[in-house]
Structure 1
Amino acid sequence: MQKKLIKVHPSDNVAVALVNLKAGEVIKFENEEIEVVSDVKAKHKIALSDFYAGDKIKMYGVLVGKANSSILKGDVLTIANVKHESAKVTQKTDTIGWNIPNVEQWKDRTFMGYHREDGQVGTANTWLFFPLVFCENKNIEKLRDIFERELLTKKLNSHQMLLRSLVNDSDDTLVQQPETAKVFENIDVKFITHPGGCGGIRQDSESLARLLAGYVKNPNVAGATVLSLGCQNLQIDIFNKALEAISPDNKKPVLMYEQQQMGTVDEMLTAIIKNSYAAIKEANNIERKPAPLSKLKIGLECGGSDGFSGISANPTLGYTSDMLVALGGTAILAEFPELCGVEQELVNRCETEASAERFLELMQAFEKSVVDAGSGFDMNPSPGNIKDGLITDAMKSAGAAKKGGTSPIVDVLDYGEYVTKPGLNLLCTPGNDVESTTAMVGSGANIVLFTTGLGTPTGNPITPVIKVSSNSELAAKMSDIIDVDTGDVIKGEKTIEEMAETMLNYIIDVASGTVTSKASLLNQDDFIPWKRGVSL
């Protein structure tokens, strides 16, 4: 019989409902009986003792809130009777060791990747088009239409065929057209547009330059075509300096075009098409070769989280991260607003005092900027989060941080900085799904693992994004976006360790190109830079 409640940490004074509970129902839990006071939906939290106003609420072993009013044992926790509260952290107080997982069976495993001259290995081989400024978005869109029509597999999808049948008042066009073959087998062509590069403060353009340079540096990119207008804040030389800073010996081809120096749009596009085609054709000669798992750099993301995310999908990613780190690989934990409340553990896991201090400085500066804007980290849970049991930011954060496992933190990076150290890295980003995913890829992630309890289609133009559901109901309902289902953990049919092994095998398949992630199949090419400044 499936358990009805689970307590995540021995010191917790609340439990998570694994199934819907009815008022009056009596549950035997930890050798005592608990009478359910009011209906509790699955994923929500139930009090394991009486609370009075001001009493601290603990979950995952940390402070996640305090009672706003009296809460009876067996009653449900809500935004009405609980408010956000987290522990204050000022310094490193301890050094936390970790139990290194046994990865003996994985040591000789490899994936088939694209080897770059700087020693990185890509899980994809992509030629990337992007602008330095939003003024060039239209030209990027024209190039996308031209190159996708000629180089990529294209057919009218079912929705296009449906509209055509409605326009023609006929059912004849509902028959699918045959696919055309790709011109090149070993190269993909992707396009980025964005609203930045000018009109804001200079720091925004410099930040965007570092992000775009990171995309060129990313091992999944073979080369790039870059469009500039000419008069914008993000000048070509600023981008080149950003690229040189992270890749001083860059060997990848980067084709630059400045519209104000080239004359008409037609003249510029003609040159771009000829030169880019030749470069893409050359990049197609790069083939996959075996690479050790230490060459994997995984980004760890969660979005559309629910009350099960922190006890199934996120811990699965955490153990997968630990396994990869033990194999010499790299993991990136971002979303700083969703680390609020677990700072002490993370600080104590930092290998150096300098990293611990930098993490606290970045967290405090980020939170101050949010408060100065009239908000706060306590406003982080979305309506969907709250509806599915994540009622305080600290509660959401404590579950979200499980994606980072238990390994030591080797480095702390600000937004736009590139990962250079194997092991677990912290990267300062917002909690926004696309902004965070965009940033991790700009910092070098060649695979992104993305957990969700409610369902989100987020993807990336150059890096495969693997969607991991926290519950089987979601995996069945939104099967077109979910790659791996960790619902068996909730049902008690698999352990976290067993799910992590399934996860790592799936990562190897996606990294090798034998399996395509659902986000890639849907061409979910999301790219949103984090705009930290103001517009002028």
Structure 2
Amino acid sequence: MQQKVLKVNPIDNVAVALVDLNRGEIVTLDNLTYNIVKDTKAKHKFVTENLSEGDPIIMYGVLVGKANQPILKGEVITTENVKHQSAKVEGKTETAAWTAPDVEKWKDKTFMGYHREDGQVGTENIWLFFPLVFCENRNVEVLKEIFEKELLFENTSKHQLLLRSLINDTETEQPVEEYKYNRVFKNIDVKFITHQGGCGGIRQDAEALGRLLAGYVNNPNVAGATVLSLGCQNLQVQIFKDALEKINPDNKKPIIIYEQQKSGTVDEMLSGIIRDSYDAIKNANEIERKPAPLSKLVLGLECGGSDGFSGISANPVLGHLSDLMAGIGGATILSEFPELCGVEQELVNRCVNEQDAERFLQLMKDFEKSVVAAGSGFDMNPSPGNIKDGLITDAMKSAGAAKKGGSSPVNDVLDFTEYIKKPGLNLLCTPGNDVECTTALVGSGANVVLFTTGLGTPTGNPVVPVVKISSNTSLSERMPDIIDFNTGDVITGEKTISEKAEELLDFIIDVASGAIRTKAAILNQNDFIPWRRGVSL
């Protein structure tokens, strides 16, 4: 029989409903009984003791809120009776101990990747087209249509066939063929990025965009790039080149740059781009997958559309996986700084050195200060969907989100657009926004992104596979076209967190080797939104 309730940490004063609980129902947990005061939906929490106004709410062993009115033992917590509160942190108080998991079974395993001259290994082989400024978006879109039609012989999609049948009044119940494509080149894909930056805002945002795009070129999944510039924009070609040189002074990837204001007519420029890019793509197709150690994997850790189960199933599974990667010698990147609010002390104590601990706290303070200056706050981070599914406060959401980082030492702290340098767990300053965060993780060197969700989201990326991991079985059954991996059997007690983490690592090896295409890739979900810290001028 499935367990009905769960207390995540022994010191918690709330318990999680694993199934819907009815008013008046008696449930037992750790030999104690609780009378459910009000109907409590699965994923929501009830208090395990009577609370007075101002009393702390403890979950995951940390402060996640406070009662703003009396709450009876067995009563569900809501946004009406609880408000956000998190513990204050001033600095490192101790060095957290860590025992690495046994990784003997993984030490000789490999994945089939694309080896780059700088020692990085890609899980994809992408030729990337992008503009330095939004003025070139139209030209990138023209090139996208040309290259995709010729390099990917597209069969008509079922949705196009549906519209065609409606226009011709020939709609039929007969099934239509799913979208398929055949590649001219078997070892290379072409992808296209557009954005709304590069000019018009503050210089710092243009420079940050230049560093982000340089990170994309340096990402091991990218074989080379075609870059379009107008010429007069804030993000000058030299700024982009300098950013790439700073990341990788010995970059040997081919980069084709065209500046429209120096290229004559649009027709002349596009003709030159097509000729030069085709030759480079043809050469990049010569690169083939070869075995690589798992230490060459850099896994971005992210969550979006989280629910009340995310912090007890999908996120801890990623946490154990992150610890496995640290033991193997690979790297993981934990991001979304607004969703680390309230767990700073644990992360600070896990920092290997004092400088990283101080930097993490300063980045958190600066980020929150900018949010407050805009008239908001980290406490407004939970979305309506989060709240509806049991994440009542930002600190509660954060405590669950931080589980993605496991318990291994924090080896480095990176600001937005900084490229990963060290193995093990890294912290990267990004917003919680799904696409902005995914975009940033890839720009900092992730070659696979692991994305947990309890509510469902289609987010993908143009150059890196995004593995969508559900926190509950209901979601994976309801949205099978976007979910790659289900951890709902942790909730039902059929599997342990460590068992699911090992299953997930096997799955990632197949994705990294090209044996499995992610659902986001099948849907051609190529999201790219740079984080803009400044304002438009």
The verdict on how the C-alpha distance between 1:465 and 1:177 changes in structure 2, with shifts beyond 3 A counting, is closer
The verdict on how the C-alpha distance between 1:422 and 1:179 changes in structure 2, with shifts beyond 3 A counting, is closer
Q: Which residue of 1 aligns with 2:155?
A: 155
CA distance in 2, matches of 1:277, 1:46: 61
Return the letter of the residue paired with 2:327: A
CA distance in 2, matches of 1:219, 1:29: 49
- SS of the residue corresponding to residue 207 of structure 1 reads helix
| Aligned residues of 1:414 and 1:427 also touching (Cα < 8 A) | yes
Q: Which residue of 2 aligns with 1:395?
A: 396
Return the letter of the residue paired with 1:223: G
| Aligned residues of 1:50 and 1:71 also touching (Cα < 8 A) | yes
Alignment of structure 1 residues 318-467 onto 2, 5 Å: 318-467=319-468
Please give the per-residue CA displacement for 1:5-33, whole angstroms capped at 9, x wherever unaligned: 10001110001000000001111222121
Return the letter of the residue paired with 1:130: F
| Aligned residues of 1:165 and 1:174 also touching (Cα < 8 A) | no
Q: Which residue of 2 aligns with 1:144?
A: 144
CA distance in 1, matches of 2:459, 2:315: 17
Shift of 1:182: 1.3
CA distance in 1, matches of 2:179, 2:2: 48
Please give the per-residue CA displacement for 1:475-494, whole angstroms capped at 9, x wherever unaligned: 00000000110000000000
Return the letter of the residue paired with 1:38: K
- SS of the residue corresponding to residue 128 of structure 1 reads strand
CA distance in 2, matches of 1:325, 1:175: 46
Q: Which residue of 2 aligns with 1:184?
A: 185
The verdict on how the C-alpha distance between 1:236 and 1:178 changes in structure 2, with shifts beyond 3 A counting, is closer
Shift of 1:369: 0.4
Shift of 1:244: 0.5
CA distance in 2, matches of 1:509, 1:285: 22
| Aligned residues of 2:310 and 2:400 also touching (Cα < 8 A) | yes
The verdict on how the C-alpha distance between 1:167 and 1:377 changes in structure 2, with shifts beyond 3 A counting, is same
- SS of the residue corresponding to residue 290 of structure 1 reads strand
The verdict on how the C-alpha distance between 1:177 and 1:311 changes in structure 2, with shifts beyond 3 A counting, is closer
Q: Which residue of 2 aligns with 1:198?
A: 199
CA distance in 2, matches of 1:182, 1:321: 34
CA distance in 2, matches of 1:410, 1:258: 40
CA distance in 1, matches of 2:230, 2:532: 20
- SS of the residue corresponding to residue 8 of structure 2 reads coil
| Aligned residues of 1:309 and 1:451 also touching (Cα < 8 A) | yes
| Aligned residues of 1:161 and 1:174 also touching (Cα < 8 A) | no
Shift of 1:181: 3.0
Return the letter of the residue paired with 1:257: Y
CA distance in 2, matches of 1:481, 1:179: 17
- SS of the residue corresponding to residue 162 of structure 2 reads helix
Q: TM-score, normalised by structure 1?
A: 0.99
| Aligned residues of 2:157 and 2:179 also touching (Cα < 8 A) | no
CA distance in 1, matches of 2:370, 2:336: 15
CA distance in 1, matches of 2:509, 2:179: 31
Shift of 1:178: 9.0
The verdict on how the C-alpha distance between 1:123 and 1:35 changes in structure 2, with shifts beyond 3 A counting, is same
Return the letter of the residue paired with 1:21: L
| Aligned residues of 2:318 and 2:406 also touching (Cα < 8 A) | yes
Return the letter of the residue paired with 1:372: A
Unmatched tracts of structure 2, length 5 or more: none
Return the letter of the residue paired with 1:147: F
| Aligned residues of 2:439 and 2:461 also touching (Cα < 8 A) | yes
CA distance in 2, matches of 1:361, 1:471: 35
Return the letter of the residue paired with 2:31: N
- SS of the residue corresponding to residue 256 of structure 2 reads strand
Return the letter of the residue paired with 2:325: L
Please give the per-residue CA displacement for 1:471-513, whole angstroms capped at 9, x wherever unaligned: 0000000000001100000000000000000000000000000
- SS of the residue corresponding to residue 190 of structure 1 reads strand
| Aligned residues of 1:362 and 1:428 also touching (Cα < 8 A) | yes
Q: Which residue of 1 aligns with 2:482?
A: 481
Shift of 1:176: 3.3
CA distance in 1, matches of 2:335, 2:188: 29
Shift of 1:263: 1.1
Residues 1:308 and 2:319 are matched in the alignment: no
Tell me the C-alpha RMSD between the 2 structures.
1.0
Alignment of structure 1 residues 231-250 onto 2, 5 Å: 231-250=232-251
Please give the per-residue CA displacement for 1:254-286, whole angstroms capped at 9, x wherever unaligned: 000000111111110000000000000000000
Return the letter of the residue paired with 1:415: F
CA distance in 1, matches of 2:36, 2:176: 55
Q: Which residue of 2 aligns with 1:61?
A: 61
Q: Which residue of 2 aligns with 1:298?
A: 299
- SS of the residue corresponding to residue 182 of structure 2 reads coil
Higher mean Cα deviation, 178-187 or 8-17? 178-187
CA distance in 2, matches of 1:181, 1:194: 28
Residues 1:269 and 2:278 are matched in the alignment: no
Q: Which residue of 1 aligns with 2:519?
A: 518
Alignment of structure 1 residues 93-104 onto 2, 5 Å: 93-104=93-104
- SS of the residue corresponding to residue 320 of structure 1 reads helix
| Aligned residues of 2:111 and 2:510 also touching (Cα < 8 A) | yes
Q: Which residue of 2 aligns with 1:110?
A: 110
Please give the per-residue CA displacement for 1:369-428, whole angstroms capped at 9, x wherever unaligned: 000110000000000000000010000000000000000000000000000101100000
| Aligned residues of 1:346 and 1:409 also touching (Cα < 8 A) | yes
| Aligned residues of 1:162 and 1:174 also touching (Cα < 8 A) | no
CA distance in 2, matches of 1:291, 1:32: 51
CA distance in 1, matches of 2:240, 2:365: 29
| Aligned residues of 1:64 and 1:84 also touching (Cα < 8 A) | yes
Unmatched tracts of structure 1, length 5 or more: none
| Aligned residues of 2:314 and 2:469 also touching (Cα < 8 A) | yes
Return the letter of the residue paired with 1:364: K
- SS of the residue corresponding to residue 183 of structure 2 reads coil
CA distance in 1, matches of 2:387, 2:368: 21
CA distance in 2, matches of 1:453, 1:153: 36
Shift of 1:152: 1.4
CA distance in 1, matches of 2:492, 2:59: 21
Please give the per-residue CA displacement for 1:298-328, whole angstroms capped at 9, x wherever unaligned: 0000000000000000000000011011000
Q: Which residue of 1 aligns with 2:43?
A: 43
Q: Which residue of 1 aligns with 2:83?
A: 83
Return the letter of the residue paired with 1:220: N
The verdict on how the C-alpha distance between 1:178 and 1:81 changes in structure 2, with shifts beyond 3 A counting, is closer
Q: Which residue of 1 aligns with 2:16?
A: 16
Shift of 1:343: 0.0
Residues 1:131 and 2:121 are matched in the alignment: no
Q: Which residue of 2 aligns with 1:528?
A: 529
| Aligned residues of 1:509 and 1:515 also touching (Cα < 8 A) | yes
Alignment of structure 1 residues 242-261 onto 2, 5 Å: 242-261=243-262
CA distance in 2, matches of 1:153, 1:421: 41
- SS of the residue corresponding to residue 412 of structure 2 reads strand
